[in-house]
Amino acid sequence: MVQKIIVLGSTGSIGTQSLEVIDYFPQEFEILGMSAASNIDLLEKQLRRYRPQFVAVLDKRKAKELRQRIRDIHITNVLEGEDGIIELASLESSNIIIVALVGFSGLKPTLAAVRKGKKVAIANKEALVTGGELIMSEAKKNNSFLIPVDSEHSAIFQCLHAGKPEEVARIILTASGGPFRDFTEEELRWVTPSEALKHPNWEMGAKITIDSATLMNKGFEVLEASWLFQLPLEQIEVVIHPQSIIHSMVEFLDGSVIAQMGIPDMLLPIQYALTYPERWESRFPRLVFKEILNLDFLPPDKQKFACLELAYQAGRIGGTMPAVLNAANEVAVAKFLQKKISFVQIPELLDTVMSRHALSKSSSLEEIVQADEWAREEAAALSL
């Protein structure tokens, strides 16, 4: 049976790579729908190529423009706005939803897909960071299956097959350490957005590249792993592994450590998410063991990269705090890119906003959205 796929965020980094994977298997996969925030130039090209039945554009003005542009092709439904993307995520006729949206915008569509009992290939970690409890409980209730696309979580998911859930001792998430791994605290003060946007191993969008440089991305991955694999934070550890060859590891009760390895490339985890529970042959580049292959490991410097510890803190507090951390971080990253704050002020800003938050222990969608809005305003108004 052909699997009908919805790609939410088809013009982004994971979105375009998802289409690349789908291209390898035209007999097995079909694009039913795609969405973009505002890049309708690329979206139009994708529509002409894949001819999906449905499309959604977040920016309503751009949606109107797109309708004009594609009058000659037969796409009956150009949905618009946040509601349009949620509608796309809720379509009865789809089999797999790839959530490749950026930031908090991933939460509501993920929730909608989960409530429809779909297979959800999730690349957006902010949905689980902010609404993990809600998403996991709705997934259980509606028989939805969440499969990770993030390389670390795909690795963990693969390693977990080596034992039973109750046999897991801990998860070891690997981190490249980003471009500033070896910088001194003094050097970190002066790093520029363009330096932070150069990641040594991975090609990614701007938001996640900055998050990788601050280790906030790793912090979010800790929270994401805790929800996806239903493990307490104390059983999730982070280790710096500069080569990004081991994508993550699972240690079992007997001390055996299972690692998943590969070259740093998102195509493999994307393909595995789509083909699971099977593995299909791929033409992606492979590890070559005839060449010298060094694997180094070192502990993360929590002093220099305070964002990682802030994520653990927010996770331990729970309730709306992870949503506050995420929202403040989105604002802080934007401010850093606009050169309004320095690199080292990113964790300072997050810490201040978190300390001012009146916590709610509830994890309803309304409270999460409210906390998100509050934290954005607070972070925007804050001058350091």
Contact residues: Mg ion, CB under 5 A? 150, 152
Of residues 33 and 315, the one with the C-beta less far from Mg ion:
315
Cβ of 141: how many Cβ atoms within 10 Å? Answer: 11
Distance in angstroms (rounded) separating the CA atoms of residues 8 and 89? 8
Tell me how crowded residue 377 is: count the other CB atoms within 10 A of its CB.
13
Rg of the chain over CA atoms, in angstroms?
Answer: 20
State how far the Cα of 165 lies from the Cα of 229, in Å rounded to an integer: 9
| Nearer residue to Mg ion within complex by CB, 152 or 372 | 152
145 sits in the region (left: phi over 0; alpha: psi -120 to 50; else beta) called: beta
Closest approach of Mg ion to the CB of residue 224, in Å? 9
Q: Which residue's CB comes closest to Mg ion?
A: 150
Instruction: Work out how close the CB of 150 gets to Mg ion at its nearest, in angstroms, rounded to a whole number.
Output: 4
Place of tokens 């035209």: 26
Residue number with CB closer to Mg ion (120 or 173) = 173
Q: Are 10 and 34 in contact (CB under 8 A)?
A: yes
The distance of closest approach from Cβ of residue 217 to Mg ion in the complex, given in angstroms and rounded to an integer, is 6
Which residues neighbour 383 within 8 Å (Cβ) at sequence distance 6 or greater? none
* Shortest Å distance, C-beta 273 to Mg ion: 13
Pairing of strands 145-148, 119-122: parallel
Closer Cβ to Mg ion, 31 or 208, answer by number: 208
CB of 255 to Mg ion, least distance (A): 26
User: How many Cα atoms are found within 13 Å in the side-chain-facing hemisphere of 232?
Assistant: 5
Task: CB nearer to Mg ion: give 80 or 152.
Answer: 152
The least distance separating Mg ion from the CB of residue 320, rounded to whole angstroms, comes to: 24
Backbone angle region of 244, left / alpha / beta, with phi > 0 → left and psi within -120 to 50 → alpha: left
- CB closer to Mg ion, 249 vs 341: 249
